[in-house]
Structure 1
Amino acid sequence: MLQALRRHATRPQRTQFAAEEMQQWYKERDLLPDDCETIIGQDGPLEATVQHVLRASGLSEPRVIVSDGQ
């Protein structure tokens, strides 16, 4: 929540609602349904986190690029 409040303070819309209102809206681990979100902890090793994101996004699979010779 603290990070969200810091970001809010830098946005042009910061005068539209106060930090106190944001704190009322906040719900711990308010995830989307159907397990479509993954929590990545701050204590995990960077390489493991990167590999997880690549696998989850489908970017870890090698891609074959076919050139038409140009």
Structure 2
Amino acid sequence: LQHVVIGDGADKASELWANRTDIRHLPGIKPHARHLAPLAEARLAKGETDDLAYLVPAYGKGANVTQPAKKAQ
């Protein structure tokens, strides 16, 4: 199984998978949601759908959630 990584984050972190044979980095590709429409349309035309209740995004890293700083009184 080979994974393809693209986008700004992949470009910045390309050294992390430089020696991995299961990951292929395609530099300079900037993904946009409009590129998904033709793929979705083709799947829909074939009657393929997904159960939206069970779709989970595959983020490359976890969220960085912090508490807001207290304002000085």
TM-score > 0.5 by shorter chain: no
- Indicate the structure (1 or 2) with the bigger Cα radius of gyration: 1
- Highest relative contact order (Cα 8 Å, sep 6+), 1 or 2? 2
Bigger fraction of residues in strand: 2
Structure-1-length-normalised TM-score: 0.27
Structure-2-length-normalised TM-score: 0.27
